[in-house]
Amino acid sequence: MKFDELQKKIELGKDNVQQVYIEALEDYVPIRELTKKELVELSAEATEHINVEFDKDGNPTMSLTMSKLTKNEAKVDAKAVIYGLEVEGKGKLTVDYVLDNWKSSAVEEIAQAIYNITGENPKESVRKNKKNKTISEVEGDSFRTQ
């Protein structure tokens, strides 16, 4: 295979628009995969409020604030929708507009469809960490895991 052929196959992801049915809208919407750059940006934002510290033995302790995590996840979904939705006029969309004016079920469903065709959910590593750890301290809506 020549480099040009490989590059065309790799670049197809961004141009590969698919029509997916969104139950919350009772209609089909055109979406595309996220690029690696978009995915990295969303992953960084999803984990922005997570602090990892290491004890003297090198064991990690993760702490986070649930309210901040929830807000971050909503912003990540909104950004994913803005990136992955392929409709005319979307250049005017902002995260705040999507979060303030769109049905939350539609935002979540469109974002999940985009994550599915991308093959990765930027919020998934945060959820895995929460599920695989034991909560050892709880303060308000913050907790520590070990």
Q: How do the pLDDT tens digits run along the chain, 146 residues long? A: 888 777 776 766 677 889 999 999 999 999 999 998 999 999 888 877 777 788 888 887 777 777 777 888 999 999 999 999 988 888 889 999 999 999 999 999 999 999 999 988 888 755 554 444 433 443 444 444 44
pLDDT for residue 13:
64
Question: Which pLDDT value is given to residue 124?
Answer: 77
Instruction: Please choose, from the candidates 126, 132, 115, 128, the residue with its C-alpha nearest in 3D space to the C-alpha of residue 66.
Output: 126
Chain centre to alpha carbon of residue 100: 18
Residues 6+ apart with CB under 8 A from 57: none
Q: Which two tokens stand for residue 18?
A: 């698919």
- The amino acid occupying position 142 is S
pLDDT at position 126 is: 55
- Please state the separation of Cα 103 from the chain's center in Å: 17
Cβ-contact 37, 30 below 8 angstroms: no
What φ, ψ does residue 28 adopt, rounded to 5°?
A: -95, 145
132-141 contacts at long range (C-beta below 8 A, 24 or more positions apart): 133/62, 136/61, 141/65, 141/66, 141/67
Taking the C-alpha atoms of residue 59 and residue 36, their distance in angstroms, rounded to an integer, is: 30
